[in-house]
Amino acid sequence: MRAWCWPLLACMFVASAACGPPVDLSKALQVSDVSTGWFDAGIVAGQNKLVPAITFRVKNVSDRTLNVLQVNAIFRRVSETTEWGSAFLPVTGSEGLAPGATTSVLTARSQLGYTGSDQSRDDMLRNSHFIDAKVELLAKYSSTQWTRVYEAPIARQLVTK
């Protein structure tokens, strides 16, 4: 190996060692200020539309900055295991979320929901055929894998934000 390669290899080794093992996001992120409900998505094709939604904050309780933090909200009907809708949220860029820092309020809404033309939005929520939903929050930073960090039922209430 050429002499000029050794300093380069030493720098790469030190840089990789400084990164350390990946942070376990299920322990490193604290989800707080959670509110769920059904967002009034307006009139679509002449019908009222309601979609499940969640608002929340995320706090980094680890001792490392989490670069390029992302959250994916997966919505499911409680009677099904398949995804019903989703919302992707880029939380931070390369600046990351510092240790102890908390995000501003984040909002995720499904693109799919319920529609009804002859019922008010409140009546839609009380309909006997209405199927409740839940949301699962997955997070990742940098090039790590998606990790579940939170799960909650969607409250049967109208939300405006």
Question: For residue 2, what pLDDT is reported?
Answer: 56
Question: For residue 7, what pLDDT is reported?
Answer: 52
Kindly state the helix (H) or strand (E) to which residue 149 belongs, with its residue range: strand 147-153
- 53-69 residue pLDDT tens: 999 999 999 999 999 99
- The pTM (predicted TM-score) of the whole model is 0.84
> Which domains are seen in the chain, by residue range?
23-159 (2.60.40.10)
- 120-156 residue pLDDT tens: 888 899 988 899 999 999 999 999 999 999 999 999 9
Q: Tell which residue, 36, 59, 40, has the closest CA to residue 49.
A: 40
Mean pLDDT taken over the chain? 89
DSSP state of 101: -
- Residues with Cβ within 8 Å of 61's Cβ and at least 6 positions away in sequence, in order, are 27, 28, 29, 30, 99, 100
pLDDT exceeds cutoff 50 at 105: yes
Give CA–CA dist 90/111, Å, rounded: 17
pLDDT exceeds cutoff 50 at 15: no
Give backbone dihedrals phi and psi of 60, rounded to 5 degrees, phi first: -85, 105
pLDDT exceeds cutoff 70 at 157: yes
pLDDT exceeds cutoff 60 at 71: yes
Q: Which long-range contacts (CB under 8 A, 24 or more apart) does 80-86 make?
A: 84/52, 84/110, 84/112, 84/133, 85/51, 85/52, 85/110, 85/111, 85/112, 85/113, 86/110, 86/111
Rounded percentage of the chain residues whose pLDDT exceeds 90 = 73
